[in-house]
Amino acid sequence: MAAAKRLGADIALFGEVKRTGADLILQPRFVELRGDKVERGTLDTVAIAEGQLLDRLRPLPAAYLKTLRAPASDVELARAQKWAAPTGMLRAYELYVRGRMAAYRATQDGSEASVEFLSRAIEADPQFVAAQHALGVVHQNLGNRWKAAAQFRASAQLDPTYAEPYKALGDLYLSAPRRLFEEAIKAYAKAIELRPFYADAHVGLGDALAAKGDTDPAVAAYQRGIEYNPMNAKVHVSLGKLYYAEKGLYYESVTSYKKAIDLDPTYLDARMGLAEVYEDKGLYKEAIDEYRRVVDADGKNTGALYNLALVYEKVDPKESITLWERYIGLAGNLPAEKDWVDVAKLHLRKLKQQQGN
C-alpha cells in the first residue's frame, strides 16, 4: 500500500511463494486503491511442480485481468502470457532475474555483475529477447554505447514487435555526441507504433523534436505522454523547459515544474528548472529557496551550488563569497568543471576586492 500510494498507482500486484514438499505454492495478491478506500484481494493459489514454474506463470496475467474485471483482447492476452515467462529455459530465467536484481543496486559492481548474469542468460537461451534488451540497458548505464546499441538491435531483430529496444535506441541517438535527431525520431515513432500508449516513448519523441526546434509537435508529444501517464514527473519538466525557453511562457513553465515536484518532491531536475526560471525573472528569494533545497538534498550538486552563488551575488555578497569558496573546493579537481571553476575564481576575486578583503 505504501508503495502504491507513493507512486500514485491504482493497483499493486504482489504475492507470496512457499515450498511444500517438492512443490512451490504461489499465492497471488493485489491491493486496489480508490481514493481513501482500499480493497485487498487474492487469486486462487497455484501449485507448481518441479520444472513447471515458467509454464504455470504464463496464465497469471489473464487471471489477474479476470479478477480485476479489466477487459483485454485476445491479442493483448497473448502478449501478456508471452511476457509473463519470456524464456522457456528455467536456468536462463534464473540468470536473468539475478542480473536484473544486480542492476537495481545501481553501483559499478552491481552493473558489472549484471552484465555477467545477463550474458550467461543469453548463452543459455540465445532467443531470450528480454535479456538481450536488459543487457543493453546495463551497458548503456556503464557508458558502453556501442555494446548497448548492439544489444538493442539484437533484441529488436529477435522480436520486431518488442517496443522497448526502439525506445532505448531513440535515447541513444538523442544523447550521442553528434546528436542524431532524425534517427531518434524514427526510433521513438517505431516504439509508439508498436505500443501507442508507451508514455516514455512519447516523452522521448518530444525531447527529440524539441532539440530539433520543432516546438509545437514537441508539446503535442509531451501532452500525449501525460495523457498516457499523468504521474510521469519527467514529462512535466520537459514541458517546463520548452514553455519557457522556446515560448517564453512563464506561468505555464512554473506550473509544469511545480506539477513535477508535486509528483516527485525528490526530483532535483524539476527544482533546478524552477529555480532557473525564478532567477531569470528576478525572483531571487524564490530561486534561492529552490537551489537551497537541491544543495541540501545533494551536497555534491555543483550546478546548484554554482547557480546559488551567482544569485547570492545580487542579494548577499558575503554569503556569495562563502558559496563560491565551497563550489571551488568541491569542483576544483573535476576535469569537466575546469572552465566553470575558472569563472568562479574570477567572481570570487571580484567580490573579495569589493568587500575589501
- Output phi, psi for 32, to 5 deg: -115, 130
Q: Is the pLDDT of residue 7 over 90?
A: no
Residue with cell 489473464: 62
Instruction: Give me the pLDDT at residue 168, please.
Output: 96
Q: Is the pLDDT of residue 111 over 90?
A: yes
Q: What is the pLDDT of residues 280-323, one digit of tens each?
A: 999 999 999 999 999 999 988 999 999 999 999 999 999 999 99
Q: Percent of the chain beyond pLDDT 90?
A: 80
Per the structure block, which three cell numbers stand in for 320?
556569495
Instruction: Give me the pLDDT at residue 128, please.
Output: 96
Q: Where are the alpha helices (DSSP H) in the chain?
A: 2-7, 53-57, 60-67, 74-84, 90-103, 108-124, 129-141, 145-158, 164-175, 181-194, 199-212, 215-228, 233-247, 250-263, 268-280, 284-297, 302-315, 317-331, 338-354
Residues 216-239 have a mean pLDDT of: 91
Instruction: Give me the pLDDT at residue 230, please.
Output: 86
Q: Is the pLDDT of residue 356 over 90?
A: no
Q: Are 81 and 62 in contact (CB under 8 A)?
A: yes
> From residue 188, how far is each of 54, 79, 164, 205, 211 by CA, in Å?
31, 21, 10, 6, 14
DSSP of 211-246, one letter per residue? HHT-HHHHHHHHHHHHHH-TT-HHHHHHHHHHHHHH
Where residue 8 falls among pLDDT bands split at 50, 70, 90?
A: confident
Neighbours of 134 (CB within 10 A): 24
What pTM was estimated for this model as a whole?
0.80
- Output phi, psi for 254, to 5 deg: -60, -40
Q: Is the pLDDT of residue 357 over 70?
A: no
Average pLDDT value for the chain:
93
CA distance 109 to 242: 37
Q: Is the pLDDT of residue 192 over 80?
A: yes
Q: What is the pLDDT of residues 34-65, one digit of tens each?
A: 888 999 999 999 999 988 999 999 999 999 99
